[in-house]
A and B are shown apart, each in its own frame.
Chain A
């Protein structure tokens, strides 16, 4: 046989094998997801009803429309922007923050929900951490708790992480057999209370502040996260919505982890309206925080009042 024909046969055989192997792989992932104990499923992380009430929040997002403000971001967002305070000042809002959300997931959620929710203002919580993270934890959180569509596949392809691929396969299988239809997430978990509109209030009085000073480092921007962030900015501009970038307060010790906070501020300012509340406000760690990353309700009140002044 001629060389070209042989190569064609070879490539075709590889393609057929890839289809065959992908099918077997998917079946085995579903079986493993069902029968294997958790410690053997390191690469299938299905987190239905996880710590940040993602399932409840995304269910609520599906029936939310025409609001003033949409919050997006990590736990700094869903534990930092209290819908009740904004309501008191006449702003209806919804908090679409999820655990460890990075621009990659923000972009997915934005594409999925923004046209339906139709907010006037989008407040996007940004931090150096979200530009450094690979975002796997957050992708898995969203894959486990939300619908699967083309945006999910794009997110997983951008993520390009085996855990995200496996979780996507397993969560599609669970959706197909409708195994989660009776799942109801409790409204409170270990001191965390879900407030309608997406906010999570921590009513646990325990304060856990990390007091160890870690070695300061420079921000190592992920190219994927930067690309997604720019896509978010462009899409919000196309929708003619007001976009405000906010860096939520964290403890002063945590904030000092990065050497180049100033250059981060300058970078963010280039993208539009930006406020860094670590420099705009002075919050005593032991009074206003319940852990190194999150404000207590006293801190949330103060922070949100400052945000509202700037709207």
Chain B
């Protein structure tokens, strides 16, 4: 079931009404409802993989119980590694097996030996990377004594499977989400209105920005040799906004939906395209993943402790693993490596923590210097997206070399060029609204709060109209479903 589908538009109000009007007297019943709804939501995609989700949940739940009860540290460690190995094992089989197999065959071929790669015809279970990371964070936190194990299986299962975040995050932490699941929730009118606004903005970003950009980005990336450099630059810009609109749109819908049930999820995006350097970008892009890797990989590796070489090594590892987490393809690893290369100069010069404050905080417009930094950061990120989007590394270099060919300064002229200008106009609208709301949790959080209700509602209706005018003819899945 997709957030941008009619099924979800029916599913959500039904669950909402039952949750607040039928089972509102009992926290236990509310949690059971959330669990059943979440499993139904997941089963709509493919019910067979529901068993994998349940198995993973049970494994981590029992591991959580067994570790503190272990007689000695060795047994505790055994339980810990069983959970880690099985969880990562599932990920390795479903997500990375074919990649390792074919990469091994290619490596052997370099030594003059031919091996027929053994690949599996397997479907990637949607959301496996996300719910595995939920489970891992819980097991690691219990192992390190940061949290007590959860004894209530229903509560723990809701933590892993809560439907708004089940398939594409944000990647929650037990320390943040579990207490909310255990606590009696009271309907909050303002929070619920806020949730609806955030869902609307998320739908706008997905349908009006991401899905429209996708059409032209796909056209350019599918056949870069047929297009001029100027058109390919446009394609790269479109992909940059496609992935932003798609993923941050998903996150807004997920966070907004959770608010309707009285649950607050962690923020996942904080206007990353207004960043002044790469470090700031990574503090604002896919925050739940960046902080996950910081807490469960970077810090255990030593973090900022040790000499500069250790810091560089740790940073490189985190970016490479982060790239690999996105998908079983060398393009993602190179994407991670490029971002590490962008980041390292800041780390070496000790400037990775500058630009903590929101850009132009007390001003309407940025300064020339800030504008230059924002554009520079966007260009760097856009170049890295070319590797992320291309099918192969070779394809990325073809795309880049074609951009920097003699056709770079020609006027774009492809089918639908007039329509693409409309999309640029919509992107400008997005940027203006986001700039205006950059101090808030999401862009339209406080827009028009001083206006009288009809004017404010006219703005929301305009968003609804744009969604209706640009909605694709078929439901388009979110990009991060594949990760």
Where the two chains meet, the residues of A that have a C-beta atom closer than 8 Å to any C-beta of B are 3-4, 6-7, 9-11, 13-14, 17, 20-21, 24-25, 28-29, 32, 39-44, 136, 160-163, 165-166
Segment of B117-125, B271-279, B469-477 engaged in the interface with chain A: B469-477
Pick the contact of A10 from B186, B189, B422, B461 — CB < 8 Å?
Answer: B189
In the assembled complex, the CB of B417 is this many whole angstroms from the nearest CB of chain A, namely 10
The answer to whether A39 and B460 touch across the interface, beta carbons within 8 angstroms, is: no
B418 at the interface (CB under 8 A from A): yes
The answer to whether B457 and A20 touch across the interface, beta carbons within 8 angstroms, is: yes
What's the Cα separation between A280 and B192 when bound, in Å? 63
Point out which of B454, B458, B464 has the most chain A C-beta atoms below 10 A from its C-beta.
B464
Q: A21-B461, A24-B462, A29-B468 are in contact. List 20 more A-B contacts (CB 8 A).
A: A6-B187, A10-B192, A10-B193, A11-B17, A14-B196, A17-B457, A20-B457, A21-B457, A29-B465, A39-B416, A39-B418, A39-B419, A40-B419, A40-B422, A43-B468, A43-B469, A44-B469, A136-B473, A161-B473, A166-B468
Known contacts A3-B24, A6-B189; is A32 also within 8 Å of B469 by CB? yes
The answer to whether B465 and A13 touch across the interface, beta carbons within 8 angstroms, is: no
What's the Cα separation between A4 and B25 when bound, in Å? 11
Give the number of chain B interface residues (Cβ < 8 Å): 28
Dominant secondary structure of chain B at its interface with chain A: helix
Where the two chains meet, the residues of B that have a C-beta atom closer than 8 Å to any C-beta of A are 6, 17, 20-21, 24, 186-187, 189, 192-193, 196, 416, 418-419, 422, 454, 457-458, 460-462, 464-465, 468-471, 473
The answer to whether B465 and A3 touch across the interface, beta carbons within 8 angstroms, is: no
In the assembled complex, the CB of B204 is this many whole angstroms from the nearest CB of chain A, namely 13
B470 surroundings in chain A (CB, below 8 A):
42-43
A4 surroundings in chain B (CB, below 8 A):
21
A7 surroundings in chain B (CB, below 8 A):
20-21, 187
A160 surroundings in chain B (CB, below 8 A):
6
CB closest residue in chain A, given B465: A28
In the assembled complex, the CB of A27 is this many whole angstroms from the nearest CB of chain B, namely 9
CB closest residue in chain A, given B6: A160
Across chains A and B, which 8 residue pairs bring their CB atoms closest together, nearest first?
A24-B461, A21-B461, A28-B465, A162-B471, A3-B187, A6-B189, A7-B20, A25-B465
CB closest residue in chain B, given A161: B473
**Can you name 8 A-B pairs with beta carbons within 8 Å?**
A11-B17, A20-B454, A21-B457, A21-B460, A24-B462, A32-B465, A32-B469, A41-B469
The answer to whether B458 and A24 touch across the interface, beta carbons within 8 angstroms, is: yes
Point out which of A10, A20, A39 has the most chain B C-beta atoms below 10 A from its C-beta.
A10
CB closest residue in chain A, given B21: A7
What's the Cα separation between A163 and B471 when bound, in Å? 9
CB closest residue in chain B, given A160: B6
In the assembled complex, the CB of A299 is this many whole angstroms from the nearest CB of chain B, namely 33
A6 surroundings in chain B (CB, below 8 A):
187, 189
CB closest residue in chain B, given A26: B465
B468 surroundings in chain A (CB, below 8 A):
25, 29, 43, 162, 165-166
B454 surroundings in chain A (CB, below 8 A):
20
In the assembled complex, the CB of A159 is this many whole angstroms from the nearest CB of chain B, namely 12
CB closest residue in chain A, given B188: A6
Known contacts A10-B189, A17-B457; is A24 also within 8 Å of B465 by CB? yes
The answer to whether B422 and A3 touch across the interface, beta carbons within 8 angstroms, is: no
What's the Cα separation between A273 and B145 when bound, in Å? 75
In the assembled complex, the CB of B123 is this many whole angstroms from the nearest CB of chain A, namely 19
What's the Cα separation between A161 and B471 when bound, in Å? 10
What's the Cα separation between A10 and B473 when bound, in Å? 32
CB closest residue in chain B, given A9: B189
